[in-house]
Structure 1
């Protein structure tokens, strides 16, 4: 296979429309072919859903002491966005390379694949591992089955670099996240006599007030870290759905919420606080002879990341040309690599998160070239 540049590779990668709701299998098979041809020991691992796959490729000797480079293959939808060009065809203007996923994060994958191809004939003393996951954009879902399998196999490495777009600066932390639902059950009645029912939307409104009270408590009494733009944990209500008609007292209402957590704030404790208040609110409604209930369920969660700034993996990334930036406002798979495999992890990749998820997302030629040099220096440290 002829060696390709990272720009040429990126053009191939963005042509796979790997929106999270769709299959990424063709993308994974293409990456597997490139990595196998480069001499990697490649495994394509089925995900938990049909058409979803992860990939792990290893170069150099077996054993510990290696470095993992990690990225996700999925991208967010383009539905409803106005693009100046085809979002799934790389288009260049003035050194900017436009396409969905160019920054988040197929640019890093392109650089990983071309770095692997430059390994042909190079003898590594320590292994290099390349991991590509599915369905990161919907809550770091897909990587978990791969990490569990690797943990069961006793996989070991010295550290991990997750190549999310940070402007090629080193991030040593981000908040964790809990994504949940508050389900409020009431009792239907005719709106002409609402006292014969229990309005589930009113129950939900009280619970929204409880999330606001929890936010105030976290800002005053929760963990704090000045390295974050918002230096405390946050609670956010994103959607509310309830009721069927104006003249019916609604008997159900659901609220979707999230908590973005600093290390030091326990998700179980915060959810317990909300649950206790929900039970009190529902009990008060039942005391009036009405049917009422409030339940809280977790839909998805992933851990935060907290790596010491002087950890060996951070020092390695800095020696390879990256600068230390601090901590991120968005989540990554980094916390899962740390929690499930025990790998010290940093986040460092080309492009900007400010361009991600938007129309006309782009990365620049210069950013890809800088990432090529960064990865070459990472690989050289393993020789």
Structure 2
């Protein structure tokens, strides 16, 4: 059974917790249940029982934990347990074994975002010792890297509870900067169905790749227009909505007119609903401008569109109470917005929980070979949680 008491120093508790978490291979296409069971065992040692929310396959689960009174509104510390793949990356050591060098802790997920989860777990004894008057909730999800999938069933259960949390801190890597907004994202797959023919009689066929190229060209044209003429928000590192084609698959052989081509494209919008509005407009354009020409050559040809990813933007007001509190706890007065997505927008849209993104580590390290988080960042995060504990011990809202 994990022992949360020894070693007694906070940095060593964080190191041990992170080493345990990194040791679980929770790439998104695999189960996270062993990691969830490990956390449950750790909490049980401390006399805490969480609420497990399992997915339809029974192979993945989120965990919702309440420390302190359950009949009062409190604050959420939220992180995901899944990580991105390591295949094809040049790691200098086993990515699922924590390695420390020169104040840096290396391993898959150290930055994104098991470092934050480790800090939360390492601070649980201090939460218990403080005898919280305002509860602190821990929310650990799965499949965030697949489009913020696993947090949704958990938030559905949270939304049913009689007492709504006062706010949530989503611990994605921001180097402990207070992030009040992030872009939303909508991803679409367009599958072009053409008509195969021998390439010597190419005009008799319907070339799925060439029609797909028309869509790709239009996506590029609109991306350029958004960058030059679209709405801007200079709090973002990329201050405008972005649009791009990311994956294309099609064709069978050089001498065959391709009868199939799949194109995946995405929009990251600065507005709450802008991502979907942009992609919906592209779909409507393709149905009006491309598909009729395909069907004119053969009625069986055409384009099928499928949503593959969707999460809302976050846009918390800079003067909202949760932002003011986050700045107090972080000991800073600045705030920013980021282009990458998080689960924060879903906390707002699904459960009406005001949210802010703040966590240890730099996004530049996320998803990279030899991913690392600096120990100094984890200690800053622990200081943030320590101040939150003190805030909740006073019963402050």
* TM-score normalised by length of structure 1: 0.95
Aligned to 2:293: 284
Aligned to 2:259: 251
Moved more, 187-196 or 290-299: 290-299
Q: Secondary structure at the match of 1:227?
A: coil
- Per the TM alignment, residue 155 of structure 1 is displaced from its structure 2 partner at its CA by 4.8
Q: For 1:18 and 1:268, how far apart are their aligned partners in 2?
A: 30
Aligned to 1:326: 336
Aligned to 1:47: 55
* Pairs within 5 Å for 1:113-152: 113-152=121-160
Residue 23 (structure 2) aligned to one of 15, 18, 21: 15
Cα gap change, 1:234/1:317 in structure 2, threshold over 3 Å: closer, same or farther?
Answer: same
Cα gap change, 1:47/1:154 in structure 2, threshold over 3 Å: closer, same or farther?
Answer: farther
Cα gap change, 1:290/1:146 in structure 2, threshold over 3 Å: closer, same or farther?
Answer: closer
Aligned to 1:371: 381
Question: Per-residue displacement from partner, 1:224-244 (whole Å, max 9, x unpaired)?
Answer: 211112211111111111111
- Per the TM alignment, residue 264 of structure 1 is displaced from its structure 2 partner at its CA by 5.6
Residue 46 (structure 2) aligned to one of 32, 38, 43: 38
Q: Secondary structure at the match of 1:80?
A: coil
Q: Is the 8 A contact 1:107 1:368 kept in 2?
A: yes
Q: Does 1:231 align with 2:233?
A: no
* TM-score normalised by length of structure 2: 0.92
Q: For 1:37 and 1:222, how far apart are their aligned partners in 2?
A: 54
Q: For 1:221 and 1:43, how far apart are their aligned partners in 2?
A: 48
Question: Per-residue displacement from partner, 1:267-316 (whole Å, max 9, x unpaired)?
Answer: 44323321222122121233356753123221111111111112111111
Q: For 1:218 and 1:264, how far apart are their aligned partners in 2?
A: 16
Q: Is the 8 A contact 2:4 2:42 kept in 1?
A: no
Aligned to 1:212: 220
Question: Per-residue displacement from partner, 1:304-343 (whole Å, max 9, x unpaired)?
Answer: 1111112111111111124334011211111111111111
Q: For 1:86 and 1:272, how far apart are their aligned partners in 2?
A: 43
Cα gap change, 1:45/1:220 in structure 2, threshold over 3 Å: closer, same or farther?
Answer: same
Pick the structure with more helix per residue: 2
Q: For 1:26 and 1:118, how far apart are their aligned partners in 2?
A: 25
| Structure 1 residues without counterparts, runs of 5 or longer | none
Cα gap change, 1:339/1:372 in structure 2, threshold over 3 Å: closer, same or farther?
Answer: same
Aligned to 2:10: none
Moved more, 117-126 or 294-303: 117-126
Q: Secondary structure at the match of 1:119?
A: helix
Q: Is the 8 A contact 1:20 1:135 kept in 2?
A: yes
Q: Is the 8 A contact 1:10 1:106 kept in 2?
A: yes
Moved more, 150-159 or 325-334: 150-159
Cα gap change, 1:287/1:82 in structure 2, threshold over 3 Å: closer, same or farther?
Answer: closer
Question: Per-residue displacement from partner, 1:174-229 (whole Å, max 9, x unpaired)?
Answer: 10111110111111112111111111111100011111222133234433211112
Q: For 2:40 and 2:328, how far apart are their aligned partners in 1?
A: 29
Q: For 2:56 and 2:328, how far apart are their aligned partners in 1?
A: 38
| Structure 2 residues without counterparts, runs of 5 or longer | 8-12
What is the root-mean-square deviation in Å for CA atoms of aligned residues?
1.7
Cα gap change, 1:353/1:264 in structure 2, threshold over 3 Å: closer, same or farther?
Answer: closer
Q: Does 1:66 align with 2:77?
A: no
Aligned to 2:349: 339
Moved more, 356-365 or 257-266: 257-266
Q: Is the 8 A contact 1:223 1:264 kept in 2?
A: no
Q: For 1:157 and 1:64, how far apart are their aligned partners in 2?
A: 8
Q: For 2:60 and 2:279, how far apart are their aligned partners in 1?
A: 31
Q: Secondary structure at the match of 2:65?
A: strand
Number of matched pairs? 383
Q: Secondary structure at the match of 2:52?
A: strand
Q: For 1:344 and 1:291, how far apart are their aligned partners in 2?
A: 49
Q: Does 1:182 align with 2:190?
A: yes
